[in-house]
C-alpha cells in the first residue's frame, strides 16, 4: 500500500480523497493555485505544493507541474479526482511513465472510453446500442449546421473531452447549431484544452441513468447498481439519487451486465461510470463512459455501504476486489443535492465572493466512514469566511441524505436544506427545496426535460409556494417577542421609558413595489425559560417551542408538536430592521411592529428604483471577455452585445431593444461586479 499520495485537484473532491487516505494511514499532498492558497483542501492535507496562477489552464491543467509536485514530495501515486486532468489519457500515460501510480484506469482504457468519439465507435463495434449521430470531429460551424440538418433537429453538440455540462449545447435550428458549435469549441478549449466537437441526435423525453462500475487488475469487474441523474438544468445534474425510481430489476441487471461487458472489453481497472439514455419503455442506449470517480458517488456509497475512494486506492495498489457481484448490497434510498454558488432568482447566474456565513446542517454520516448510515452528510471544499473564486466550478457543497425509502430520503433532504446556512453569496437552495416539493418529483414522474418544462421562464419566489404561509408570519412574531423580552430585562432603562413587551403585533410582509401585506398577530402564554409561546394568526393557532438563541441563524424547535428547522436573519441589504425568514425554500422579509407603527408604516410612500433600461448591466461577477459593439453603432433587439465568463461558463448578453450605443463603459478583460454597467444606449 502507498505511504503518500498526491491529489491533482481542488475543492470538495480533494477533501473527499484526503478523508479516505487519512483513514487508511496514507499521507497526502495537496496542490493549489494562487486563488486557493487558503482553501480547505490545502489545510487538510499533510503537505501542499503551489502550482501556478488562478486560471486552471496555468495550474491544475498543467501535467508537468503535477508530476513535478509528485517528485518533489515523494508521492508514489496521484488521484486525479474529477474534472481537470482526470480523463486525460496523455496525462495518465505520462504519470505511469514517470513511475508514479495513477489512481484510476490505465491510459489505454482512458483513451478508448474517456474520449466520447472513440468510445462511441468502440461501443458500436461491441454491439452496444448507440444514438444516431456523427462521431467524427467537426471543423466549422457551417459543417455543423449541415450535419445537424442531415440528422434532424433537435441535435446535441458535444465536446469530445467534455464533462459536467461544459462544452454541450442542444440546437433546435440552424442558428442555434451555428452559435452552439462556436460556444462549445471555446468552452472545451478553456476547460479541457481539447476543442474537438461532435454531433448526435438529441433523444427527447429521455431519462439519464448511469451504472457505477469498479474493476481490478485481476480481470474482475462488478457493477454497484445505478444512479438516477435525470434532474438536470442545462445538462448539469442538480439532484441525483440511488436507486432509480423508474427502472425494473430486469432493466437494472441488463444495463449492469452490458456496462460490465463494455468495461471488460477495454480491460478497465478502477471506478468508472457507464451512462445510458433510457426511454419510456425502458429501452436504453449507451451515451458515454466516465473513466473517473463521479461527483454523485456518495449516493452509491450510501446504498452499498462501500467507500469508493478506498476501493480505487486498493485496486491501484494491485489488490483484488473485496466482493463479488452477488455480494453487492442495495440498502435504503439516497439523494444528493448539489449546492451551487448561483442565484436562482437571477436565472442561475454565478455568484462569487466571500462566504460570510457557511454553516451546513448537523452531519451524522461522514466521508470515508462505512459504519454510520441513514443520516445526513455534507461534502465540501469551503469553510466559513472562505472565498468562492470566479475561476472554477460553481459547486460549493454536496448535501447527501440516506433514508429507509424514497419518501423518507425526501423528507430528510428538505429538513437538511432548511438548516443549511449560506450568507455572503447566493445559492440554489431555494430551487432545490422547490424541486423536492414538486408533485412530479415526489411521484418519480420526470425526465431530463423536467426542469426546462416546469421552470422554462426561469425561477421566481412564487414558484416555491409554502404549504402554510401563516407559520412564517407566526415565527417572525415569536422571534420578535423573544428579542423584546430580552430587551425588557436590560438594566439602565429610564423610569417610564422602559421597553414594554406587549402581546399584539402586526407582521408587515415586505414586497417589491410597496405592495406590503399587514397581518395582525397575538402572542400569549410566552415562557422565556422554556422558549415557548402561543401565536394566533387569524383563525390559526401555533404553539411554538424553541430553545435557539436570539443570534442563531438556523433555529430549531417544534410547532404544534411537529419538528421544524428554519432560518432567521436580522437585517437585509435594503432594511436593517427587517427579519428575513426562510423555510422549505420560501423566503420572506418582514417587519414586526406595534399596531400603531403599522398604521404609520402603511402611509409611507414607496420609493421606486432608478430606471436602468438604457444600460446593459453585468448580471453577475465575472470576466468581460468580449464587447461586440462600439459607440454610435445601431443595435437591434436580440443582437449580441457582450460576453462574460465566470465559473468556466460563457454567458452572452443580448440587447433587450433596438437602440444606438452611446458609450462603452467597461473594457475587454475587466473584472465586473453584479449590475455594473457595460454599455449605455442613447
What residues are annotated to the active site? Answer: 288
Calculate helix-pair angle for 11-23, 308-316, nearest 10 degrees: 70
Contact criterion met (CB below 8 Å) for 338 and 233: no
**E strand or H helix at 397, and its extent?**
strand 395-403
- Identify the DSSP state of 465: -
d(CA 384, CA 356): 7
Number of helical (H) and strand (E) elements in the chain, helices listed first:
17, 39
Query: Which three cell numbers, joined as nine digits, stand for 108?
Result: 489505454
CA distance 463 to 347: 13
C-beta of residue 674 within 8 angstroms of C-beta of residue 619 = yes
Q: In what order do the strands lie in the sheet with 622-627?
A: 649-654, 640-646, 622-627, 671-672
* CA–CA distance, 77 with 21 (Å, rounded to integer): 12
C-alpha grid cell, residue 507: 407582521
d(CA 360, CA 383): 10
Residue pair 230/207 in contact (Cβ under 8 Å)? The answer is yes
Comparing CA positions, the residue from 348, 361, 341 lying closest to residue 424 is: 341
Contact (CB, 8 A) for 476 and 579? yes
Pair 213, 223: CB distance under 8 Å: yes
441 vs 434: CA distance, rounded Å: 10
Strand partners, 200: 133, 156
253 vs 229, 258, 558, CA distance in Å? 18, 9, 44
Smallest CA-to-CA distance from 271 within 16, 607, 579 is with: 16
DSSP string computed for 197-242? EEEEE--SS-EEEEEEEEE-TTS-EEEEEEEEEEEEETTEEEEEEE
**Residue 89: count of CB within 10 angstroms of its CB:** 21
Assess contact for 9 and 69: CB atoms under 8 A. no
Q: Whole-angstrom Cα distance, residue 461 to residue 597?
A: 28
Amino acid at each position: 500500500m502507498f505511504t503518500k499520495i498526491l491529489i491533482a485537484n481542488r475543492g470538495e473532491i480533494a477533501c473527499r480523497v484526503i478523508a479516505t487516505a487519512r483513514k487508511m494511514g496514507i499521507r497526502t499532498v495537496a496542490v493549489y493555485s494562487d486563488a486557493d492558497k487558503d482553501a480547505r483542501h490545502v489545510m487538510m492535507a499533510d503537505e501542499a505544493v503551489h502550482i501556478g496562477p488562478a486560471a486552471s489552464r496555468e495550474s491544475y491543467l498543467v501535467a508537468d507541474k503535477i508530476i513535478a509536485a509528485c517528485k518533489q514530495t515523494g508521492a508514489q501515486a496521484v488521484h486525479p479526482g474529477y474534472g481537470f486532468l482526470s480523463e486525460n489519457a496523455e496525462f495518465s500515460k505520462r504519470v505511469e511513465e514517470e513511475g508514479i501510480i495513477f489512481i484510476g484506469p490505465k491510459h489505454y482504457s482512458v483513451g478508448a472510453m474517456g474520449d466520447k468519439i472513440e468510445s462511441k465507435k468502440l461501443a458500436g463495434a461491441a454491439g452496444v446500442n448507440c444514438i444516431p449521430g456523427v462521431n467524427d470531429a467537426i471543423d466549422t460551424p457551417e459543417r455543423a449546421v449541415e450535419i445537424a440538418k442531415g440528422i434532424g433537429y433537435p441535435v446535441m453538440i458535444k465536446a469530445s473531452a467534455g464533462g459536467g455540462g461544459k462544452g454541450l449545447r442542444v440546437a433546435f435550428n440552424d442558428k442555434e447549431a451555428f452559435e452552439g458549435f462556436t460556444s462549445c469549441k471555446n468552452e472545451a478549449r478553456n476547460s479541457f484544452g481539447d476543442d474537438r466537437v461532435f454531433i448526435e441526435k438529441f433523444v427527447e423525453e429521455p431519462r439519464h441513468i448511469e451504472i457505477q462500475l469498479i474493476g481490478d487488475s485481476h480481470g474482475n469487474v462488478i457493477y454497484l447498481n445505478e444512479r438516477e441523474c435525470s434532474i438536470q438544468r442545462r445538462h448539469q445534474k442538480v439532484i441525483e439519487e440511488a436507486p432509480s425510481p423508474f427502472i425494473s430489476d430486469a432493466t437494472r441487471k441488463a444495463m449492469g451486465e452490458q456496462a460490465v461487458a463494455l468495461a471488460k472489453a477495454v480491460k478497465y481497472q478502477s471506478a468508472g461510470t457507464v451512462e445510458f439514455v433510457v426511454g419510456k419503455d425502458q429501452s436504453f442506449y449507451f451515451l458515454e463512459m466516465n473513466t473517473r470517480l463521479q461527483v454523485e458517488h456518495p449516493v452509491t456509497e450510501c446504498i452499498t455501504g462501500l467507500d469508493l475512494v478506498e476501493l480505487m486506492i486498493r485496486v491501484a495498489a494491485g489488490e483484488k476486489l473485496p466482493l463479488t457481484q452477488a455480494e453487492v448490497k442495495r440498502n435504503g434510498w439516497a439523494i444528493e443535492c448539489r449546492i451551487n454558488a448561483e442565484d436562482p432568482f437571477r436565472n442561475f447566474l454565478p455568484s462569487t465572493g466571500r462566504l460570510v456565513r457557511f454553516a451546513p446542517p448537523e452531519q451524522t454520516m461522514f466521508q470515508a466512514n462505512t459504519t454510520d448510515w441513514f443520516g445526513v452528510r455534507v461534502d465540501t471544499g469551503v469553510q466559513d469566511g472562505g472565498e468562492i473564486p470566479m475561476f472554477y466550478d460553481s459547486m460549493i457543497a454536496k448535501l447527501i441524505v440516506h433514508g429507509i425509502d424514497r419518501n423518507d430520503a425526501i423528507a430528510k433532504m428538505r429538513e437538511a436544506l432548511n438548516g443549511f446556512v449560506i450568507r455572503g453569496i447566493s445559492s440554489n437552495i431555494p430551487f432545490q427545496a422547490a424541486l423536492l416539493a414538486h408533485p412530479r418529483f415526489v411521484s418519480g414522474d420526470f425526465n431530463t426535460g423536467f426542469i426546462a418544462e416546469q421552470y422554462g421562464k426561469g425561477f421566481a419566489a412564487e414558484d416555491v409556494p409554502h404549504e402554510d404561509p401563516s407559520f412564517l408570519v407566526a415565527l417572525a412574531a415569536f422571534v420578535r417577542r423573544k428579542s423584546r423580552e430580552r430587551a425588557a430585562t436590560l438594566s439602565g432603562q429610564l423610569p417610564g421609558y422602559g421597553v414594554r413587551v406587549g402581546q399584539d403585533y402586526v407582521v408587515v410582509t415586505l414586497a417589491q413595489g410597496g405592495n406590503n401585506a399587514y397581518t395582525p398577530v397575538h402572542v400569549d402564554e410566552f415562557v422565556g425559560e422554556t422558549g415557548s409561546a402561543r401565536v394566533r394568526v387569524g383563525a390559526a393557532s401555533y404553539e411554538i417551542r424553541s430553545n435557539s438563541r436570539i443570534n442563531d441563524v438556523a433555529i430549531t424547535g417544534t410547532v404544534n408538536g411537529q419538528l421544524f428547522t428554519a432560518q432567521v436573519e436580522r437585517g437585509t441589504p435594503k432594511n436593517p430592521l427587517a427579519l428575513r425568514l426562510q423555510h422549505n425554500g420560501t423566503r420572506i422579509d418582514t417587519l414586526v411592529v406595534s399596531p400603531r407603527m403599522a398604521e404609520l408604516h402603511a402611509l409611507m410612500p414607496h420609493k421606486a428604483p432608478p430606471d436602468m433600461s438604457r444600460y446593459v448591466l453585468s448580471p453577475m461577477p465575472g470576466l468581460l471577455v468580449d464587447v461586440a459593439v462600439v459607440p454610435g453603432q445601431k443595435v437591434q433587439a436580440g443582437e449580441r452585445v457582450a460576453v462574460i465568463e465566470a465559473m468556466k461558463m460563457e454567458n452572452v448578453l443580448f440587447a433587450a431593444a433596438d437602440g444606438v450605443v452611446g458609450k462603452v463603459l467597461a473594457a475587454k478583460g475587466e473584472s465586473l461586479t453584479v449590475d455594473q454597467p457595460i454599455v449605455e444606449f442613447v
